[in-house]
Amino acid sequence: MMHNVKIYAASKPVNPELYDLTRFASLFDQMQNTKRLNVTMLSMAAENQPGKREWFVVETKHKAEKAVEVALGKAGVNVFLPMENCGKHVVRGRVIHHVMRPMMPGYVLVNMVYSPAAVCGIARLEGVAGFVGGMIEPHRVSDEEMNRFKLFGTQEIDLDLEHCKSFRRGDRVCFGSGPFAGFSGHVAKLRKDKVVDGERIATGAIVSVEMFGAVTPVETSLALLEKL
């Protein structure tokens, strides 16, 4: 009795180069050298570097602000992540009490001596999207403005509810304080996430900001905005 027998083609010979330990060792060395280079460049942004120190705005990836703040702090970089107490906060229909959140999600501020190496070191850090204004001529924030802005991050602020209620989608606004002070744009979306006497009130907004020849969406607390 004949049986159907399947005949399989012989497997292709294994390419020994794919398992060449010398090649893997070379790649590992390259990775280690790149890691050392990144560490060296990041050290150029540390507080112990001599020279004129300035404040810069670093853009982070989605919800990476805290991780970037921690990583920069461990590297010895002077970093500031402004937080605000939003009181009762609504998340997916649930009311959560006394929530601390970034005043400007997606951004942290660093104080460093500018150099291409320092900028590259920070830009290559995991969770960093880049520098506001670009890496060649990044946007600088004055010490005076930073001193004012830091009050928002060190003091618990009672939001002016009447101020918050005055904003509408499409309003022309400008930043009266903070790292984007002086920049203007329009309210693209209001963030109604504070509960007062059972009413949901907007305390933040996404603003389409006109800066550096482009329109950039910036999420911010309404406390930093002024109507035009």
Please give the domain boundaries of the chain with CATH numbers for all domains: 29-227 (3.30.70.940)
Q: Tell me how far apart the alpha carbons of residues 42 and 71 are, in angstroms, rounded to a whole number.
A: 10
Q: Tell me how far apart the alpha carbons of residues 30 and 90 are, in angstroms, rounded to a whole number.
A: 48
Instruction: Give the H/E segment covering residue 150.
Output: helix 143-154
pLDDT of residue 110 exceeding 80: yes
Q: If pLDDT is split at 50, 70 and 90, which confidence band does 30 have? A: low
Measured in whole angstroms, how far is the alpha carbon of residue 225 from the centre of its chain?
20
pLDDT score, position 191: 86
pLDDT of residue 14 exceeding 70: no
Q: What is the mean pLDDT of residues 45-65?
A: 94
Tens-place pLDDT, residues 163-204 = 888 999 999 999 998 899 999 999 999 988 776 777 788 888
Q: Which two tokens stand for residue 213?
A: 């020849």
User: 10 Å Cβ neighbour count for 33?
Assistant: 10
Tell me the average pLDDT of the chain: 82
More confident residue, 140 or 87: 140
pLDDT score, position 211: 87
Return all residues near 125 (Cβ < 8 A) that are at least 6 apart: 38, 42, 68, 71, 72
